[in-house]
Amino acid sequence: MTHGLTALLVLTLPQTRPWRCWPKLWWGLVLAGLLVSVTSVIAPVRGVLQLGAQAVAARGDAGDPADLTGWQPRYTPLLANWRYAAASRPGGFEDEHGHPRNGSAHTIEALFGVAATSPEQGQAPVRWEDRCGRHLWWRFWGDLLGLSGWLLLGPCVLLAALFAWLALAAGRSTQAPAPMP
């Protein structure tokens, strides 16, 4: 579906130019799309699903946890991912030595407002890369190599800014009107 939708947008957007006809609606949709895209990256899917399954078990809901966490408003990724990112900061799911900080108050209560009924339901994300934002490549490699993640991300951001500036400069030079003879 993604490929077909992309092809449809490539073919129709230049013809309809919604940014000219409905600029407020267009920019509202762009901002909504940006919010959803950032929300999908801000937390690791595996960690959110693990804690969601633990919360479903703690509530005693019947059925497949994947189905319940996918459709119930309590588990919506639009909220759960932001809560996960806030709880995943250093000191949230891990102690100062890098060990998982288990307990319902640190895990499923913080994300979903559900108290664990057994110790297994209050486990922190099991995988090391699902804690403290390590699902993001610069945090993962920074922690693995003992560097600040910003030292790894900084050159990429500077290179992207340079390429954006060069593209903008090239675009301006092609739009400049030719001088009259």
Alpha carbon 158 to its chain centroid, in Å, reads 22
d(CA 117, CA 138): 36
pLDDT tops 60 at residue 103: yes
Residue 24's pLDDT is what? 94
Q: Is the pLDDT of residue 170 over 90?
A: no
Q: How confident is the model at residue 64 (pLDDT cuts 50, 70, 90)?
A: confident
pLDDT at residue 95, rounded to an integer: 86
* Amino acid identity, position 19: W
Q: What is the DSSP letter of 73?
A: G
Query: Global pTM?
Result: 0.76
Dmax (CA) of the chain? 84
What are the backbone angles phi and psi of residue 63, rounded to the nearest 5°?
Answer: 120, 180
Q: Is the pLDDT of residue 178 over 60?
A: no
Q: Is 17 left (phi over 0), alpha (psi -120 to 50) or beta?
A: left
Which pLDDT score, from 0 to 100, does residue 158 have? Answer: 96
